[in-house]
Amino acid sequence: MHIETAAVSSGRPPAQPDQPLNVPPTFASTYTAGGALEYGRFGNPTWSAFEEALGALEGGDCRVFASGLAAIAAVLDQVPVGGTVVALAHCYLGTQTQLAHAEERGAFHHVLVDALDVPALHSAVRTADMVIIESPTNPALEVVDIAAVVEVARSVGVVVVVDNTFATPILQRPLELGADIVVHSATKFISGHSDVVMGAALTRDADRLAALTTFRSIQGATPGPMEVFLALRGLRTLALRVERAQANAGELVRLLTGHPGLIEVRYPGFGAIISVVLPDADAADAFVAGVRLCRHATSLGGVETTLERRRRWSGEVKTIPEGLVRMSIGIEHVDDIAADILQALG
């Protein structure tokens, strides 16, 4: 089955008379005793429907979480005490914060490596317990050869985790490339409408899946049924949205490359995220304040075009330029996005 079809057809009730086409949101804190669910922190039919659907897209078994960072916390819980995690210097800020907290409380160590320094990355992986890759990175948009990291990691038994939030399974399926675990902020492209905070983790390994499930149950990192219902509704159109947003992004990159107001246009060649670099913070702030159709907002992956100067966050990594504006391109008509961006740059 093609992935576009799986996005539409997976996670549905059986095709039987009077079955609804969609699994409804099940609002239940508890279930009549004696079954597989028992209590609302352990399981929910709406979660199962979403897990079946995203699992079909990524090619693994899925567990939903309360947020992307809850999913990442569940994954990091699999690092042995005193172990080492390798992450990218430009990985998601929340991931870096979790790694720093784990280090502070003596749980495990972490090493940050430049995504583009392939020899350094591969040699760091050789001495780690787990490596977390984001590709493309947020917001530097560096790309990592996942299969190459998997090859190095496999030879020394290191767990490979890929945060696939930016690429989505439409454009990149890390489990097929040999990764052990995939994590998502379903808040972004998967749900796609800027109305849900949710996460997911996926694996093909039964023991790792069991550990994710246990973490969710005992730490209570559970999403509400309405969030999961909305995320599954959003996932139905993931392929269409990614296709259109990516086409828009490609056209905007062509249009913006060489624009006199921009020092750099960064685009990895796929996906819907573009980072543009303006001369300084003031120029970037004026740009994001000047848009009318697009919205100045953090987060990304919605149907609407949003943009943000990342260094407005004091915690953002200092090697991200002050004038860098990350743009999440939506599915509006590209001419309208282009006109707005050009007037704001002007």
Catalytic residues: 41, 92, 163, 188
From 61, 79, 77, 56, select the one nearest 4 (Cα to Cα). Answer: 56
Nearer to ligand PLP, 185 or 306 (CB): 185
Minimum CB separation from ligand PLP for residue 164, in Å?
8
CA distance 188 to 319: 24
Which residues, in sequence order, are CB contacts of 9 under 8 Å at separation 6+?
A: 1
87-103 burial, b if ≥16 CB within 10 A, otherwise e?
bbbbbbbebbebbeebe
Amino acid letter for position 151: E
Minimum CB separation from ligand PLP for residue 55, in Å?
19
Helical residues (DSSP H) of the chain, grouped into ranges: 3-9, 45-58, 68-76, 93-104, 118-126, 146-156, 168-171, 206-219, 225-235, 238-256, 281-290, 334-345
Which residue in the block uniquely carries the two structure tokens 């509704």?
233
CB 46 within 8 A of CB 67: no
Minimum CB separation from ligand PLP for residue 345, in Å?
25
Q: Is 220 left (phi over 0), alpha (psi -120 to 50) or beta?
A: left
Minimum CB separation from ligand PLP for residue 139, in Å?
9
Nearer to ligand PLP, 56 or 162 (CB): 162
Residues forming beta bridges with residue 295, ordered by sequence position: 306
Q: Decide: helix, strand or coil at residue 150.
A: helix
Q: In the complex, which residues of this chain contact ligand PLP (CB under 6 A)?
A: 67-69, 92, 94, 134, 138, 163, 165-166, 185, 187-188, 197, 199
From 232, 321, 291, select the one nearest 51 (Cα to Cα). Answer: 232
Closest-CB residue for ligand PLP? 68
Nearer to ligand PLP, 99 or 197 (CB): 197
Nearer to ligand PLP, 161 or 262 (CB): 161
Minimum CB separation from ligand PLP for residue 66, in Å?
8
Nearer to ligand PLP, 200 or 262 (CB): 200
CA distance 298 to 28: 32
What's the distance, Cα to Cα, between the start and end of the chain in Å? Answer: 47
Minimum CB separation from ligand PLP for residue 227, in Å?
11
Minimum CB separation from ligand PLP for residue 182, in Å?
11
The 3-state secondary structure of 158-207 reads CEEEEECCCCHHHHCCCCCCCCCEEEEECCCCCCCCCCCCCEEEEECCHH
Nearer to ligand PLP, 165 or 172 (CB): 165
CA distance 67 to 210: 19
Nearer to ligand PLP, 214 or 298 (CB): 298
Q: How do beta strands 109-113 and 84-88 pair?
A: parallel
